Chain A
Amino acid sequence: MSIIPITGDNIQIFKTVARPKRVFSTSSSGITGSFRLDSDYSKSLKDIDLKITQGIFNEDSLETSRCQLINSLAFQNSGLLNSSYAAAKRYLEAVNSSKHSIKQTKRQEVRRFIPGTRLEDNFFHKFSIKNTLFSHYRTHYPTAHWAYTNYHCLNFFSGDSVPSDSVLIYPAGTGSTDFQDVNYLAPSSSFTFDFWLKPKGATIPYSPGTILHMSSCYAISLVSGSGLSPDGQPSNYRLMLQLSSSADIPPSDILIADNNTVSTSLNISTDHIFVTPINSLKRDWWHHVSIRWSGRDRLGGYGNITIDGLINKEFSINEKQIMQSTSSHPSILDPDALFIGNYYEGTNAGASCIAKFFAPDTSANEGLLNFNSSITNGDPLRYSFNHPLNAELHDIKIYDHYRFNEQVLTQSATGSILEKGLLFYLPPFFVKESRTRNVLQTPFQKIVGSTEAPFNVPMSFGVAGLDINLENFTRDFVRKEYPRLLHLSSSYIATQVDQEGLTATDILYSSGSQRKRNLTILPCDNGKFLPNFELLASGTTRLSPLEDSPESLFTNDLGYRDLRLISLNNMLRDEARIFSLSDAGNGTMAAAIAASTPESPADDSEINSPIGYYLDSSNILTVFQRTGDDSSNEVVFFDMSNLFYGDRIYPGTFKITDTSLSGSAGSVSITLKDDGKGNIYRADALSKHSTWSSVGNIFYDDGIVVIKSPHLVYFGKDGYTMEFEGERNIHTMEYSIPAPAGLINSSSNPAYRKLTPTDFDSETDSEFVYLTGVQLHDNNLNVIMRANLAQPIIKRDGDKILVKIRIDF
């Protein structure tokens, strides 16, 4: 044996990075991508059914059928039976029907969970992730706050199980029959309509969907183009602008020829209908649209429709007034409302007048502007909305003047300020202020109050139900008015529901209006636009806003003011807490005082003793009383084992998709991605994404994903597909062991004989050794490693051989 000293020059240490791609999918048809934990699993290998040895006789068991087969031999030998075939067949059937054991079939899956309503595992997981991981990673990941970005869009969609006649109705009351004055939302002598639009897929035949409509003034609709996507839905769209009396033609009654000329079978002029070229908008792309008219006395009545900075359609109107902002007809009333997301069809006269959408009783119940006290209670007698929009919208603005190209370009990239001439502005931003109205506390209880959070706090912390406060997202920033949310409001259930096992959300989601309400606001993924968050500045500006401040929810986890964020901490005031005790058991004093639980909420149909901003907390906030945690529970977690990713999830590779968000009946698909810095953003658009906007976080080293946006709390509930790349470092130490010429040329093996390496005549060496292995010793010559060669290597005296040994860690 020869010993050669190994120095640092003989050792090389390097790292190999493996980056396996993982896809995990779960749906009603099953799970793919999970890991089997039994390495020896084979579908042909089953456990033995031991029932017969456990003293329980079962004639169908494997062992019974085997015994019967064996016994049949004796009967056959004794002549009592002709054949054992039937018994053998039963034995094979018993084998075939034997099951695999649970141990053999155990698989590792990605776990999706929500915090729950009890102090159980899931809640403590939330607790530890929120309090430990978020604070640990906050210095690395800028968005690691229990808050999400206040960047949203209006999501209009249609589906089998949601109402198609829902619409946002903004008051534009002129006083109607009482007196004639200015219609603030009908810029009749010149205008600019400006918005971002993302058309979405819709079923064929495609019906035009209306974006903005004011009766007899204007209608802007989305019309399908000529292209079809592989899924059979339109891939291209165009815009149609109707002005003046032409706006009273329902969009679906307008025929658009190939040369863009329009006609209708109705006896209404089509002179003021303008259509952009076919395929001017693409599905799932964010487009900036600006529709401008200079007025007759300026630029000669020139107007155009500009999409993404390019003029797509030019038109000229040589009239002083292009909108009938106040009615000139004796029996038709003023167009008292702006409709967003649908097209109003009705007579707008008498008991069917538009102003009745804001009747005194409705205004009181829903916190709306009652601009005409002479209107009687109740909705309009006859009306319909048959043109639901299938698109996402944000940054909707109406100006009373023509905006020049530079202004259009600027406002397409950044949010507006409240400048002169801006008549209407719907970002939509979450604001803490909302009007006093009927607010649900449970599906069966309501009070008169207002809401200050993104979701209904009493519902969430009382009975774990989700009710998005749509009112807090839909304020018009110019006039600070709120819309009538027609068929988008929470429904109070006055009757008893005799079905056990339903959750509050189950009950709420039995209403299509509620489902659509909760999905009308979605995180915005338009990366070509940056909102002007300074619009949210309100009250006295402090570095750390106080609890009563309008900015109190625009803070990060450290309590500092950040207008981009909506905080999900401190959703309740301190006085809401009545106990620090948790999960009071039956018969305890705490239980007696707390009175109700999420499973058995207070049975008062209406409670009139609000504390703080809501009801008596002892009756309502039962989840909070149990957990003592007033941070948002409207979050969802995905927990991945490191079996999936190795050392960490490789940043920038994570993607998760829910193709049918719960409650949307397959109409809303959401895709989320990570930005490589721990942020999860929405990424559905085919155009540039707003990677800075946060809906959640990912912790790469821990395999944890948190979706914080309450608008996505049901993300993945009915199935999802997740894909990412893992990262696994393989550390390798390579030893280069030299066997120099002139060394290692003899063996201490007693059987060693000096022989020639080969019998060839050309052989010059008279002796050789076989190298069979290498041992590595420490300083004290203890063997610490040993490597055996696959086959012995001949080494002649003059041979120089280098043996490389690699050790992976």
Chain B
Amino acid sequence: MAVLTGGSFKEISPDDIKVRTTTLNQLIDVIQEDVSGSATRKAYQVFVTGGIGPGVTSSLFQTVYDQDFTLQTANPIFDITVGLSETGTTVTDCSTGTEAASGKLLFPSQSLMMREKIDIYKQFAANLLGDSSSKFSAPFGSTTGTINEAVFLSFKRLFARDSVKRETFALRLFQSASDSITAAGVDKKVSNIDRTSENGPGIFTDIGAASNQRRTFGGEVGNIVNASNTNNTVGLIFYDSGTVVLDASKVFSGSQHISGAISAMSRAVTSAKQGEYGLLGAGVNVIGTSLGNRNAKLIPDLFVSASIDDIVDHICETRFSSGSLTAVTFQNVTNINSTLIFCRASADEFNYSSNPTFKDNTGKIKVIDAGQEETQRSFAFPTTVGLHDERGRLLAVAKMSRPIEKNDEKDITFRIRLDF
């Protein structure tokens, strides 16, 4: 041991060191209008097509904020995007083959961002399942419940913290889009892509996850079930990464008719095909009407033909409603790791000081009453505890809020807490 100077030293035994972890929970309450509002949902125009028309720009994901995202005080809550399984029928039915040289999948021009949707699915699979070619399935580990059309919600660190607490997650959305058929008609002219729906309310929650704890590459995972029928598992929640994977074909009515204008690689329509859309400009297509793909469905048609922005816009704008009710909730967990060090000063210890003022000119310890040097007992006021390593190097210092008297009639234990 190195020579220690400038104080009194006592070795801390392992019994005097305790390491403990405590947890702190916060409640997350994401309200509907934050998800549905355009001012609180930020898109990133990072994808641009070439080809016919002016081209389509789109995000690869969008971010939901807790207030207008242009404000400095806005906090991002979660990112939302969609992905497609490479082996799912939505992809395989659409694909026109594989490019021989690169091996990349080919798709017709009526589809949009198919390879990006597949890549996103693979990225989530790589991060959460450990293999980009793995498939998400609900219930977790099931061989039959493969999620081919996935909606991903990735909660930000500020909200998810160290993990999501089990059996606290709930998500409310409307499974059916609004009605797209006019009272008169067979032409299905009314758009429901951007019309808020209140049809088919559903609440999806992770109840039961505490009794069925599973762990995978991405950490702890639980099943998300439909509260109306808990046997119906509709997705997964990865607690440690704060990511939710929803099976779009289960949380939404996938076969429902969808109609409306979407971005597309198209020229302007010069013939007067009138609908509620009027004349179509370049870069816009309409699905689900007599203008094109009259019987379009959410899955596969919208997931194939629409850009990620259009799909996410549809989900956020129409399926979460636009009120002030709770859309998504969970409780987060913050782990506080603490090291408690008990520094014990017995009755005969630490009653002296090396401070020069502790002694008078003759080297005697100063006493309160002059002439009582022989009878009055020494006492000290510890102000600081220094923690040294085995070589005597100072590692940490603990300052007391006020000096504490120590004399030979007291034993004092200083409890030092280090939080990490």
A binding-site residues for B, Cβ under 8 Å:
36, 40-49, 62, 66, 69-70, 72-73, 76-77, 83-85, 87-89, 91-93, 95-96, 98
Looking at the assembled complex, report how far the CB atom of B253 sits from the nearest CB atom of chain A, in whole angstroms: 17
A residues near B25, Cβ cutoff 8 Å = 48
Contact indicator A85/B228 (Cβ below 8 Å): yes
B binding-site residues for A, Cβ under 8 Å:
25-31, 34, 66-67, 73, 75, 77, 158-159, 167-168, 170, 172, 203, 205, 207-208, 210, 227-230, 324-326, 329, 331
* Residue from A46, A62, A77 in contact with B230 in the complex, judged by beta carbons closer than 8 Å: A77
Contact A91-B27, Cβ < 8 Å, known A43-B67, A73-B230, A77-B230: no
A residues near B205, Cβ cutoff 8 Å = 69, 84, 88, 91
Q: Which residue of B lies closest to A39 (CB)?
A: B73
B residues near A69, Cβ cutoff 8 Å = 167, 170, 205, 207, 227
A48, A49, A95, most chain B CB atoms within 10 A: A95
A residues near B329, Cβ cutoff 8 Å = 91-92, 95
A residues near B28, Cβ cutoff 8 Å = 44-46
Distance A91 CA – B27 CA, assembled complex (angstroms): 12
Distance A87 CA – B25 CA, assembled complex (angstroms): 22
Distance A42 CA – B71 CA, assembled complex (angstroms): 13
Contact indicator A66/B227 (Cβ below 8 Å): no
Distance A88 CA – B324 CA, assembled complex (angstroms): 17
Q: Which residue of B lies closest to A46 (CB)?
A: B27
Contact indicator B27/A47 (Cβ below 8 Å): yes
* Residue from A49, A84, A98 in contact with B207 in the complex, judged by beta carbons closer than 8 Å: A84
B residues near A84, Cβ cutoff 8 Å = 205, 207, 227-228, 230
Q: Which residue of A lies closest to B205 (CB)?
A: A88
Looking at the assembled complex, report how far the CB atom of B194 sits from the nearest CB atom of chain A, in whole angstroms: 25
Q: Which residue of A lies closest to B32 (CB)?
A: A96
Beyond known contacts A44-B28, A96-B29: 17 more, CB 8 A cutoff:
A42-B159, A43-B66, A44-B75, A44-B77, A45-B28, A45-B29, A47-B27, A49-B27, A69-B205, A84-B207, A88-B205, A88-B227, A92-B170, A92-B325, A95-B29, A95-B170, A98-B29
Looking at the assembled complex, report how far the CB atom of B104 sits from the nearest CB atom of chain A, in whole angstroms: 29
Distance A83 CA – B207 CA, assembled complex (angstroms): 12
A residues near B331, Cβ cutoff 8 Å = 48
Distance A87 CA – B159 CA, assembled complex (angstroms): 24
Contact A44-B168, Cβ < 8 Å, known A83-B228, A85-B227, A88-B203: no
Q: Which residue of A lies closest to B331 (CB)?
A: A48
Looking at the assembled complex, report how far the CB atom of B204 sits from the nearest CB atom of chain A, in whole angstroms: 8
A residues near B325, Cβ cutoff 8 Å = 92-93, 96
Distance A92 CA – B329 CA, assembled complex (angstroms): 7
Q: Which residue of A lies closest to B77 (CB)?
A: A44
Looking at the assembled complex, report how far the CB atom of A386 sits from the nearest CB atom of chain B, in whole angstroms: 53
Distance A44 CA – B326 CA, assembled complex (angstroms): 10
Distance A782 CA – B415 CA, assembled complex (angstroms): 34
B residues near A46, Cβ cutoff 8 Å = 26-29
Looking at the assembled complex, report how far the CB atom of B233 sits from the nearest CB atom of chain A, in whole angstroms: 13
Contact indicator A85/B29 (Cβ below 8 Å): no
A residues near B207, Cβ cutoff 8 Å = 69-70, 72-73, 84, 88
Contact indicator A44/B34 (Cβ below 8 Å): yes
B residues near A42, Cβ cutoff 8 Å = 66, 75, 77, 158-159
Contact indicator B167/A89 (Cβ below 8 Å): no
Looking at the assembled complex, report how far the CB atom of A538 sits from the nearest CB atom of chain B, in whole angstroms: 60
Distance A89 CA – B25 CA, assembled complex (angstroms): 21
Looking at the assembled complex, report how far the CB atom of A323 sits from the nearest CB atom of chain B, in whole angstroms: 68
Distance A416 CA – B67 CA, assembled complex (angstroms): 62
A residues near B230, Cβ cutoff 8 Å = 73, 76-77, 84
B residues near A93, Cβ cutoff 8 Å = 325-326
A residues near B172, Cβ cutoff 8 Å = 92
Contact indicator A73/B208 (Cβ below 8 Å): yes
B residues near A96, Cβ cutoff 8 Å = 29, 31, 324-326
Q: Which residue of A lies closest to B202 (CB)?
A: A85
Q: 19 pairs across A/B with beta carbons < 8 Å?
A: A36-B73, A42-B158, A44-B34, A44-B77, A44-B159, A45-B26, A45-B28, A45-B159, A46-B27, A48-B26, A69-B227, A83-B227, A83-B228, A83-B229, A84-B207, A87-B227, A88-B203, A96-B324, A98-B27
Distance A62 CA – B229 CA, assembled complex (angstroms): 22
Distance A597 CA – B354 CA, assembled complex (angstroms): 59
Q: Which residue of B lies closest to A62 (CB)?
A: B27
Looking at the assembled complex, report how far the CB atom of B125 sits from the nearest CB atom of chain A, in whole angstroms: 28
Contact indicator A95/B67 (Cβ below 8 Å): no
Distance A78 CA – B58 CA, assembled complex (angstroms): 48
Q: Which residue of A lies closest to B168 (CB)?
A: A66
Q: Which residue of A lies closest to B172 (CB)?
A: A92
B31, B207, B324, most chain A CB atoms within 10 A: B207
Distance A95 CA – B168 CA, assembled complex (angstroms): 10
Contact indicator A40/B158 (Cβ below 8 Å): yes
Distance A84 CA – B170 CA, assembled complex (angstroms): 12
* Residue from A41, A62, A77, A92 in contact with B203 in the complex, judged by beta carbons closer than 8 Å: A92
A residues near B31, Cβ cutoff 8 Å = 43-44, 96
Distance A84 CA – B203 CA, assembled complex (angstroms): 9
Distance A62 CA – B331 CA, assembled complex (angstroms): 11
Looking at the assembled complex, report how far the CB atom of A90 sits from the nearest CB atom of chain B, in whole angstroms: 10
A residues near B203, Cβ cutoff 8 Å = 85, 88-89, 92
